A and B are shown apart, each in its own frame.
Chain A
């Protein structure tokens, strides 16, 4: 009984800090419609800045609380600057590009933090006067946690007052409902957006700063927080403050009691809840349908055509070189990189298939890559299957997962659909991580080596072959009547339904196909590495695939190929050349987003077409 109370209080404490971060994210989304991946980084910056400020100020109440407030304000200012320098330029870019940009910020902040504060965990001072604990029903409970429990509702109350009682708050609420109307009424949107970013970022910074006495400050705070906060915001309904509060409570308590009741599946539990909520209520608990935004809608997607002959020849020559040259030129290391590239191309092409022609964003495509990898690896481990049948099983396993997960994901649209794919990917990841008996958990599945006949070179050819055949197959499907129907439902759902196209079925089949091809890539990956770890299906891998597709450009079929090659090459070189590869990669991403909002292939094509049509 006492134990339960303690857990409930613990849950409340984490709910409180979850809410602080989530409230900022949801307010920012409500007004700007940007899904800010960097919100977790702002939270992390809040913690680091608070550490630096508090340790440099004199000890005592003023030093601690003053430091916390200063850190929050500083993070607010950083957020405002971020909005003015970066996001302001891309409000009209496609949603996923904004996401890519904020992910670039995540990478940059990670390395800036590493440069400034070092890699070791930092232990901050405890809050003065709140070091002790109180007795509750004979159990000791830390005083600081109690204060934290109180801060959440206080901030919620203040925010509600701010939104209901001030002119600024009224504008924010109005903009959340109908941004264009607010603009049409003559409100200075630039100022409004910047101020919203300031407030939202400040809340993230405050939450981070308040963690100082609770846990050590480290470089992983950003991504671990952002996934959880995404869950809270999505479950609550994007843009809804009361929704975020309720969802934070739900998730916080779920964590606390999940450990007691289902210790085996704690990691899955949260995402399971999110999946269930989204299936039952496609816009979260309190989410509302958004007013259509005609003016912000991106320009029509260009026509998919057959590639110009020059490009075909170029591709053919490149392929020929890739087949013939390695035995003479490449050493083992080069072969490994080339194999990685071949796998990445297929992985990116499979994601592009649903993102480009399908118009469905996926934050969790790594699930199918990873399930393919685990499928092949587990067959080898438990049934001593040879390589070829194991490789054949990979797309089958991934496809089955695609059938089940896709059934739910393709019903939703936009950010909610993307978030559900993320939830399913996290569920798959949690299974790989926590079902130790089957998957070996964190230790992975080892000893997944190719058959004896396959040397490194042979395996490279195999991977290249699968990749080329797979990518061409996806291309062929995209240009088939099915592919046209897929694009039709993306272009105009109403019109598609009016000519007899079943959008749900088409999307579902496309999702399963994409999952299957990602599974092939995953299976190859398992044998290329000789092992599979849960990282094969974690969030960074999903983001990698997104980066490849978005870098290359969603609009062309060559995009994912170029993007995968560029990303893998750049990544490989950077990791070898510098410890701060994230900083460089993030910087490159930001530059590309600002300079080529259509992606690499899109930019090349535009140049090409401009040259061919002079005047």
Chain B
């Protein structure tokens, strides 16, 4: 078996004179839940956007299943088997929940060029299976525009699973959710990841979520990778403690959600 699903080698990105991501290297192992954490401005979102294709790295390489995907457009990254969810949920408001998932499935099967077959006839069963899996079977016929925020997160998850991804990228998956919902969502993600042998890389502010669900944790600070290891190792790491405590942050306390700079 391949050692890494996704591998970042010395990726870097500067904005003006600021090195937002500075020579970062890591790997996501098959089937693992890997958390990317760090104080505000550490470069988490930039790092994420280098992986999903929204930003092109100034240097370094990103490899998916051994293939170079550096600088590929988001839609090409998706076609290689990467699913993603957004920090602020992104679904198609003019479609029902089921249609959202159907469309992702149709896109995965290369059926978007079919201009003459009714869309509702294609991939409906598969969409229902996915919706069942994320616990939304009852909401399938409702328009996405009227859904509660927590449910939208689940719709996004179902959409992201449509291409049978080997890797799921989740940017702040629980931002803006109530604490109880957060745990529920991440438990679901962990379960699905285990079933499918899918790797998950997620950024997160909520330390309960990080230490409760991550197999391993990466810590970024000022664009550099300063620690890597199991949750316990990272918790015990002196440098990590200094970075967080130095910025007046306790790993146990809950920070405000949504203070990351907006993606791209």
Distance A497 CA – B86 CA, assembled complex (angstroms)? 12
Knowing A300-B145, A484-B103, A488-B103, the reply to whether A479 touches B119 (Cβ < 8 A) is yes
Q: For B84, what are the chain A residues with a Cβ–Cβ distance below 8 Å? A: 498
Structural contact, A481 and B119, CB atoms closer than 8 A: yes
Q: Which residue of B lies closest to A502 (CB)?
A: B75
B-chain residues with CB within 8 Å of residue A482 when the two chains form the complex:
112-115
Contact assessment for A484 and B99 in the assembled complex, using a CB-CB cutoff below 8 Å: yes
User: Which chain B residue shows the least CB distance to A494?
Assistant: B90
Complex contacts, A492 vs chain B, CB 8 Å = 90-93
Cβ-defined partner of B111 (8 Å) among A481, A483, A499, A506: A481
Are A498 and B78 in contact (CB-based, < 8 A)? yes
Q: 8 Å CB contacts to A: which residues of B51-82?
A: 52, 73-75, 78-79
Report how far A302 CA is from B113 CA in the complex, Å: 24
Query: Once the chains bind, are A303 and B75 in contact (CB under 8 Å)?
Result: no
Determine whether A178 belongs to the interface, using a CB cutoff of 8 Å to chain B: no
Chain B residues near A500 (CB-CB < 8 A): 75, 78-79, 107-108, 163
- Tell me whether A477 and B92 are in contact in the complex, defined as CB-CB below 8 angstroms, given that A499-B104, A500-B78 are known contacts: no
Interface flags for B29-45 (1: CB within 8 Å of A; 0: not) read 00000000000000000
Residues of A within 8 A of B103 (CB): 481, 484-485, 488, 499
Q: Check if B122 sits within 8 Å of A481, measured CB to CB.
A: yes
Complex CA gap A496/B119 in Å reads 16
Check: A491 CB closer than 8 A to any chain B CB.
yes
Bound-state CA distance A492–B104 (Å) is 13
What mask results when residues 273 to 305 of chain A are scored 1 for a CB within 8 Å of chain B, else 0? 000000000000000000000000001111110
B79 touches A491 (CB 8 A): no
Q: Which residues of A contact B74 (CB under 8 A)?
A: 494, 497-498
Q: Are A481 and B114 also in contact (CB < 8 A) when A487-B92, A488-B103, A495-B90 are?
A: yes
> Does A476 sit at the interface, judged by CB under 8 A?
yes
Contact B119 A499 (CB under 8 A): no
Q: What is the bound-complex CA distance between A449 and B96, given in angstroms? A: 49
Closest partner residue, chain A, to B262 (CB atom): A292
Is there a chain B Cβ closer than 8 Å to A480's Cβ?
yes
Contact of B119 among A302, A483, A497, A501 (CB under 8 A): A483
User: Bound state CA distance, A499 and B111, in angstroms?
Assistant: 13
* C-alpha spacing A495/B96, complex, angstroms: 15
CB distance from A266 to the nearest CB of B (A): 41
Would you call B150 an interface residue if the criterion is a C-beta within 8 Å of the partner chain's C-beta atoms?
no
Does any Cβ of A come within 8 Å of B246's Cβ? no
Cβ contact within 8 Å between A303 and B73:
no
The complex places the Cα of A300 from the Cα of B94 at a distance, in Å, of 6
A502 and B74 alpha carbons, distance in the complex (Å): 10
Cβ distance A478 to chain B, nearest Cβ, rounded Å? 10
Task: Assess whether B115 is in contact with A495, with CB atoms less than 8 Å apart.
Answer: no
Contact size range, A: 20 to 34
In the assembly, what is the distance between CA of A80 and CA of B112, in Å? 49
CA distance A332 to B116 in the complex (A): 38
Tell me which of B73, B99, B120 contacts A497 (CB under 8 A).
B73
Contact with B along A299-341 (1 / 0, CB 8 A): 1111110000000000000000000000000000000000000
User: Are B91's CB and A303's CB within 8 A?
Assistant: no
Q: Which residues of A contact B5 (CB under 8 A)?
A: none
B162 close to A (CB within 8 Å):
yes
Docked Cα-Cα span, A304 to B96, in Å, equals 9
Q: Is B138 an interface residue (CB 8 A)?
A: no
Within 8 A of B (CB), among A486-535: 487-488, 490-492, 494-502, 506
The residue in chain B whose Cβ has the minimal distance to the Cβ of A301 is B94
Q: Are A485 and B78 in contact, with the CB atoms below 8 A?
A: no
Is B119 within 8 A of A484, CB to CB?
yes
Q: State whether B116 touches A303 (Cβ < 8 A).
A: no
A495 contact set on B, CB distance < 8 A: 86, 90-92, 159
Smallest CB gap from B109: residue in A: A481
- On whether A303 and B118 interact (CB within 8 A), knowing A482-B113, A485-B103, A501-B75, the answer reads no
In the complex, chain B residues 93-146 whose Cβ is within 8 Å of any chain A Cβ: 93-96, 99, 102-104, 106-108, 111-120, 122, 143-145
Q: Is the CB of B117 within 8 A of A301?
A: no
Chain B residues in 8 Å Cβ range of A501: 75, 107, 112
Complexed CA–CA distance, A496 and B94 (Å): 13
- Nearest Cβ in chain B — how far from A506, in angstroms? 7
CB closest chain-A residue, reference B144: A300
CB within 8 Å of A: which B145-172 residues: 145, 159, 162-163
Whether the pair A491, B94 counts as a contact (CB closer than 8 A) is: yes
Contacts of A477 in B (CB 8 A): 115-116
CB distance from A60 to the nearest CB of B (A): 61
Q: List residues of chain B with CB within 8 A of the CB of A479.
A: 118-120
Q: Which residues on the A side are within 8 Å of B107 (C-beta)?
A: 485, 499-501
- Given A303-B143, A484-B106, A492-B90; A498-B75 close (CB under 8 Å): yes
- Alpha-carbon gap, A506 to B104, bound state (A): 15
Contact partner, A302, options B52, B99, B112, B143, Cβ 8 Å: B143
Q: Which among B107, B113, B115, B119 has the highest number of chain A CB atoms within 10 Å?
A: B115
Within the complex, the shortest CB–CB distance from A341 to chain B, in Å, comes to 27
Across-interface contacts of A502 in B (CB, < 8 A):
75
Is the CB–CB distance between B90 and A304 below 8 Å? no
Bound together, the chains give a CA A119 to CA B163 distance in angstroms of 66
Docked pose: A485 CA to B99 CA in angstroms:
11
Which chain A residues lie closer than 8 Å to B120 at the CB level?
479
Name the residue on A nearest B120 (C-beta): A479
Q: Which A residues are CB-close (under 8 A) to B79?
A: 500
- How far, in Å, is B134 (CB) from chain A's closest CB? 16
Complex Cα distance, B75 from A502, in Å, reads 7
Q: What 8 A-B pairs are tightest by C-beta distance, nearest first?
A: A300-B93, A300-B145, A495-B90, A301-B94, A491-B92, A482-B115, A499-B104, A481-B106
Measured CB to CB, the residues of A under 8 A from B are: 299-304, 476-477, 479-485, 487-488, 490-492, 494-502, 506
Q: 6 pairs across A/B with beta carbons < 8 Å?
A: A477-B116, A479-B118, A484-B106, A488-B103, A499-B159, A501-B107
Given contacts A300-B143, A303-B94, A481-B112, 7 further A-B contacts (CB under 8 A): A302-B143, A303-B96, A482-B115, A484-B106, A484-B119, A491-B95, A498-B84
